[in-house]
Structure 1
């Protein structure tokens, strides 16, 4: 074998190793906390912060750098952490400032690791890792339910919640995985696995009962189509439709038959295998596309008319938001301090009901951290979304940008910020959008 061919093979192997490391980093973002109640209790926050910081330092030492968007997002997150920690000086007694600051520091270290350790050439691998991690958590959720039977929780009824401990967190994480599975086109087995995971995660989303995640998924699909290359938009829409049809049919079967045990596993397997083995919907002729739209409409009508799943939860979100906004008006400059909403609710909410979070990232930021905290929070969301819009037409950015929009929408309706598994996955998508662009003339593998 010639020396030139040996050098070329060595370079290819190095590139493969770098892609594997990026995929492993993406998977670790969700698996590191996903199996321990979504990271809500912060048992591993310190260890993960140290680990992510070490990854960021090593990435910087080996040539990693920041683009303007990445530097802006990281700077905003550092400022948000500092403002959160500083709020200890004005927080009302009993506020959980240390816990909130620790969580913000975890997110800062994670974003730094993602930006310094991955680059433009590793964007696809990073998204694949995220998708794999989310799919694993979905599999764990279904297997836990199948093994234990139909578990009735006093808060969540029969909604699927484990291993995260909160149905809406599992729902939005599944929805994020659906977006990546639908939008990230890959040839061969990898592409089939992605399409299969998208349909399977629609089932998981349905079993979680998360209406907010379903709404955010619709918005994300619109963004995915809008940000994609013009010629690929019909195909993306058909992939989304196929995932919704197959996953929705499995969910309908599970609700209709009150599925549990082996039957639930069968339904999940059929959803995954059906989507994986079918012809890529993006390559379907126009006639098949029209038939699919009609079938989807008919299936949706049947599901709504026949299934009518029982709502097992009650939402008090407007009451939470009203209490938080009243607190913001009472303390208009600085807010009541990070981690103080449970005290706000104790004063302003009904007696006998403990609530820790305002169920909206933006409302809670205003209530606890004042206008400055809200501005920093909005900036953290706006920087990746504006970057995705500027780079529309890039298929990788379209997928990551749409997934991040899903998080931004759902965070307005729930306490995603307090569930690290959700926020870390969203930061992974933000890092893909904000990855430092290649130098002119640089060959990329995306």
Structure 2
């Protein structure tokens, strides 16, 4: 295949089951991430129909996913409400189903699917960016005096997770103007969310690419969109602080300039790194000018999350094996002003599972993760595989900082990315498997 992916036969088309999963992804993205019942039902139904049509073979991943789903339902039954375990059961089914359906695509179909995933992520980034620049309340979230891009997902950190996974995947696509712009919009979109976990997860994905795709190729691919995003985010900062007057013209000019930087940096050859460093310095200066307003975004301090984590650990200590039951994980703790605070989610999906489904549930959830990583490892050998692995790592890392498994949009994109790295089950080849 060469060093990058993206060259496809002219007649390539996605199979109907894969199209249905993509439709489920898109539906969840539009329907506030699929968090609420209508979005969950629609995205879950589309993925379910895709699985029925694809008829994947049962394997270790299916067995572990099914066991986790069964345990969630049983745990709900023990609490007197079997339906309370249904969201967890459906969540794992959507993730596993998306992965198994994507795995049935052949090599060229996978390349097209990766392009589609990156494209949808870029649209999320662009809509979030526009929402901040023009202060559109329905696609932004106001927190700590800042407007953060949320796009149609309405939760900035979930939007960042989807874009970070799509961003590392986009880095291995065939170099082209459209691919470069897509990567730039993804990186700029992550910046517009002001999600610390999103940035950290993206860096983890880039590290995976450095190890399994090569440091030089990764650096060459990641520098242009990242430093284009530095320019764009710097121009957006004045519009982020609610206390300041919005500067939409400056933001748009910065977005255009960032796009030009992304397209122009690769043409500089050996001068690319010095210019990129200069852009970093400029972005640092702009950031320093807004340090006071961005203090909560450039530190690792998060008192509410720390309080929720402490409350969660107290619940675990009471019922470590079975948990408190699905949907019963509410966390009460003292606020900084002496008052009481309550949070529905602990912002750590691994701890959330431990609280609600106990050690049994956490072991089964980690078993699903291990099964996915084993399957992805068996498909190794291509640049697309490296991008798929990096995208999976992005979601796994980010899941330790936010409640991502409650949004089908994140689960479906994670499943699609995982399936892109699985050995091929459709074209008669064990794609990428080495002896």
Is 1:16 matched with 2:16? Answer: no
Go from structure 1 to structure 2 and tell me whether the alpha carbon gap of 1:22 and 1:260 turns closer, same or farther (over 3 Å shift).
farther
Q: Decide whether the 8 Å contact of 2:17 with 2:54 is kept in 1.
A: no
Which whole-Å deviations, capped at 9, do the CAs of 1:267-311 have from their partners, x for residues lacking one?
A: 334433542x33647xx64x3254246435534543453342524
Q: 1:223 aligns with which of 208, 224, 227?
A: 208
Aligned equivalent of 1:181:
170
Q: 1:265 Cα shift?
A: 3.6
Which whole-Å deviations, capped at 9, do the CAs of 1:369-412 have from their partners, x for residues lacking one?
A: 11221112112222333444555542011001001101100101
Tell me how far apart the structure 2 counterparts of residues 47 and 35 of structure 1 sit (CA, whole Å).
11
Aligned equivalent of 1:3:
none
Q: 1:264 aligns with which of 234, 248, 251?
A: 251
Aligned equivalent of 2:199:
214
Aligned equivalent of 2:42:
47
Q: 1:113 aligns with which of 101, 116, 131?
A: 101
Q: Decide whether the 8 Å contact of 2:347 with 2:403 is kept in 1.
A: yes
- TM-score relative to the length of structure 2: 0.82
Q: 1:177 Cα shift?
A: 2.4
Where does structure 2 lack aligned partners over 5 or more consecutive residues? Answer: 1-8, 241-245
Q: 1:73 Cα shift?
A: 2.4
Which whole-Å deviations, capped at 9, do the CAs of 1:405-438 have from their partners, x for residues lacking one?
A: 0110010111011122122111111111124265
Is 1:170 matched with 2:159? Answer: yes
Q: 1:261 Cα shift?
A: 3.8
Is 1:126 matched with 2:113? Answer: yes
Q: 2:264 aligns with which of 257, 272, 278?
A: 278
SS in 2 for 1:417: coil
Which whole-Å deviations, capped at 9, do the CAs of 1:138-172 have from their partners, x for residues lacking one?
A: 22223344454577736774112232121111222
Aligned equivalent of 2:367:
379
TM-align CA RMSD: 3.2
Aligned equivalent of 1:153:
142
Tell me how far apart the structure 1 counterparts of residues 397 and 431 of structure 2 sit (CA, whole Å).
35
Q: Decide whether the 8 Å contact of 1:141 with 1:160 is kept in 2.
A: yes
Go from structure 1 to structure 2 and tell me whether the alpha carbon gap of 1:167 and 1:318 turns closer, same or farther (over 3 Å shift).
same
Go from structure 1 to structure 2 and tell me whether the alpha carbon gap of 1:415 and 1:92 turns closer, same or farther (over 3 Å shift).
farther
Is 1:243 matched with 2:225? Answer: yes
Aligned equivalent of 1:367:
355
Q: 1:97 Cα shift?
A: 2.9
Go from structure 1 to structure 2 and tell me whether the alpha carbon gap of 1:249 and 1:440 turns closer, same or farther (over 3 Å shift).
closer
Q: 1:310 aligns with which of 290, 294, 299?
A: 294
* Aligned residue pair count: 408
Q: 1:355 aligns with which of 320, 325, 343?
A: 343
Q: Decide whether the 8 Å contact of 2:224 with 2:266 is kept in 1.
A: no
Q: Decide whether the 8 Å contact of 1:46 with 1:106 is kept in 2.
A: no
Aligned equivalent of 1:295:
278
Go from structure 1 to structure 2 and tell me whether the alpha carbon gap of 1:292 and 1:221 turns closer, same or farther (over 3 Å shift).
farther
Tell me how far apart the structure 2 counterparts of residues 432 and 255 of structure 1 sit (CA, whole Å).
36
- TM-score relative to the length of structure 1: 0.80
Q: 1:235 Cα shift?
A: 2.5
SS in 2 for 1:323: helix
User: Which structure shows the higher helix fraction?
Assistant: 1
User: Which gives a bigger RCO, structure 1 or 2 (Cα 8 Å, sep 6+)?
Assistant: 1
Aligned equivalent of 1:82:
70
